[in-house]
A and B are shown apart, each in its own frame.
Chain A
Amino acid sequence: MISPLPPQDPDIDLVQRTVAGDQRAYSLLVLKYQRRIQRLIGRMVRDVDLVEDIAQETFIRAYRALPKFRGESQFYTWLYRIAVNTAKKALLDMKRNPTVMESFTSNGDDDETSWRKSEPISDETPESLLAAKEIAAVVNSAMAELSEDLRRAVTLREIEGLSYEEIALALNCPIGTVRSRIFRARESISAKLKPLLEHQMGKRW
């Protein structure tokens, strides 16, 4: 029996296509990582508006540096470093700003987890916190409404990070079935999110 090939992250394909001239590929990377990048920066900087500005700058810097990305590390690892450096620079530029976490400028650690010790919580607006809670509640509710098969498959994939092959072994079903269940679970949950997105954004894809 031939073992399936290991999973291949599509990020490198999107990077290559961006460098080749297709900017839509970069937008897909932005949509994939901007929430994580903003969370990372939010643990370094209090000002919510500044968090977004630094995140924007991060993606601009990454875009400019894309031709230099060699794929020796994961794209997110590379992007993470750019975000940290961009935030550090912003903090140093505003080192006297009382809204900024001054403790970071003297802290040589750039490990994301080390900041939690200093309670690096950004001052999110009540509206944004409520929005996050509301969205999380919708997602959790949608998960509860899934059949057990779909819920187990998407949980093993999204939360446990297992590959399709590993999930197939765990659930004792074919890989094709795993793929189908995960897709159907995502479709079902995202369908519940769409009205929320349109309501909050006032715009749609």
Chain B
Amino acid sequence: MSTKWGSGGKTDHETSMTQSSSTANDQVSALMDGELQGSEREAAIVALLGDPDATQAWHAYHWVGDALRSEELAAGAQDLRFLAKLEMLLSQETKVSLVEMPDKAVVLSADTKHHTSANSDRFRWRMAAGGAMTVALAVLAVFVGWVDPWQTNVPMAVPMAAAPQKLQNPVTDTVAADGMIRDPRLDQLLSAHQQLGGHSALQMPSGFLRNATFDAKGR
């Protein structure tokens, strides 16, 4: 593809990108003032969520408004650091949505008996789901309130796989040699919990968690 140079030394592509960015930022400006309606509003929100430049504009425009209204609100240079730290803290919370995954692969604990079936995989899955749900609920009784929404190093991460209330992407499950259906993500979570020595997110020792500690090597 040949490169055509426009005015000011910019390529046509660069000019187009600048114009596109300007249009997106104009929408951000109107959106934050509540002046967009209907489909234009929806499109602006979608664009805002998916475009780092638009997100930057959202941050900058709100910062400008705050600084104009009060010198106390002018110190916005730490906003990104604050957000990154918040993301890290939220990423340490487990998903509450684990209790609402009946249609997804589940994890079997050491306390769950698995019954093989000569019938369909769905029957085996349902049997596993019942026992696993019991354990998952017990674990979540302590971990409740944890979510795992954001990738810690990417402030504006791609859409997360799971919502606070429901999963959007099925968890990849694997069938171990003993026929148990395993959820690698929950295995990882429980393994990490084991390393914490049965302590909750609040760093309070929990006897229950010790009893429910998962030992991958023993399985």
List A residues at the B interface (Cβ < 8 Å): 5, 7-10, 13-14, 17-28, 30-32, 34-36, 38-39, 52, 55-56, 59-60, 63-64, 66-67, 128, 131-133, 135-136, 139, 143, 154-155, 157-159, 163-164, 175, 179-180, 182-183, 186-187, 189-190, 193-194, 196-197, 200-201, 203, 205
For chain B residues 28-66, which have a beta carbon within 8 Å of chain A? 29-37, 41, 45, 48-49, 52-53, 55-66
Name 23 interchain pairs, CB-CB below 8 A, sorted by A: A7-B34, A9-B34, A10-B31, A23-B150, A23-B160, A32-B62, A35-B73, A55-B82, A60-B93, A66-B164, A132-B74, A155-B68, A158-B64, A159-B68, A163-B34, A164-B33, A183-B29, A186-B61, A187-B22, A201-B77, A201-B78, A205-B52, A205-B80
- Contact A197–B35 (Cβ < 8 Å): no
Contact of A56 (CB < 8 Å), options: B86, B150, B155: B86
- Contact B77–A35 (Cβ < 8 Å): no
Secondary structure call for the A interface: helix
Secondary structure call for the B interface: helix
Q: Which residue of A lies closest to B159 (CB)?
A: A22
B7 at the interface (CB under 8 A from A): no
- Contact B66–A35 (Cβ < 8 Å): yes
- Contact B60–A186 (Cβ < 8 Å): yes
- The answer for the CA separation of A14 and B48 in the assembled complex, in Å, is 11
Question: Closest CB of chain B to A9's CB: distance in Å?
Answer: 5
- The answer for the CA separation of A135 and B79 in the assembled complex, in Å, is 13
List B residues at the A interface (Cβ < 8 Å): 22, 25-26, 29-37, 41, 45, 48-49, 52-53, 55-83, 85-87, 89-90, 93, 145, 147, 149-150, 155-157, 159-160, 162-166, 168
- Contact B64–A25 (Cβ < 8 Å): no
- Contact B86–A30 (Cβ < 8 Å): yes
- The answer for the CA separation of A38 and B73 in the assembled complex, in Å, is 9
Question: Closest CB of chain A to B142's CB: distance in Å?
Answer: 15
Question: Closest CB of chain A to B121's CB: distance in Å?
Answer: 28
Contact of A34 (CB < 8 Å), options: B31, B36, B58, B82: B82
- The answer for the CA separation of A38 and B81 in the assembled complex, in Å, is 14
17 additional A-B residue pairs with CB within 8 Å, beyond A52-B82, A182-B29? A23-B149, A27-B55, A27-B83, A28-B49, A30-B82, A34-B83, A35-B76, A60-B86, A63-B147, A135-B76, A139-B74, A159-B69, A182-B33, A183-B26, A190-B61, A197-B77, A205-B155
Q: Which residues of A contact B77 (CB under 8 A)?
A: 131, 135, 196-197, 200-201
- Contact B164–A21 (Cβ < 8 Å): yes
- The answer for the CA separation of A148 and B58 in the assembled complex, in Å, is 24
- Contact A136–B159 (Cβ < 8 Å): no
- The answer for the CA separation of A196 and B159 in the assembled complex, in Å, is 30
- Contact B71–A133 (Cβ < 8 Å): yes
- Contact A143–B35 (Cβ < 8 Å): no
Q: Which residue of B lies closest to A200 (CB)?
A: B77
Question: Closest CB of chain A to B167's CB: distance in Å?
Answer: 8
Would A157 and B33 be within 8 Å (CB), given that A8-B41, A24-B157 are in contact? yes
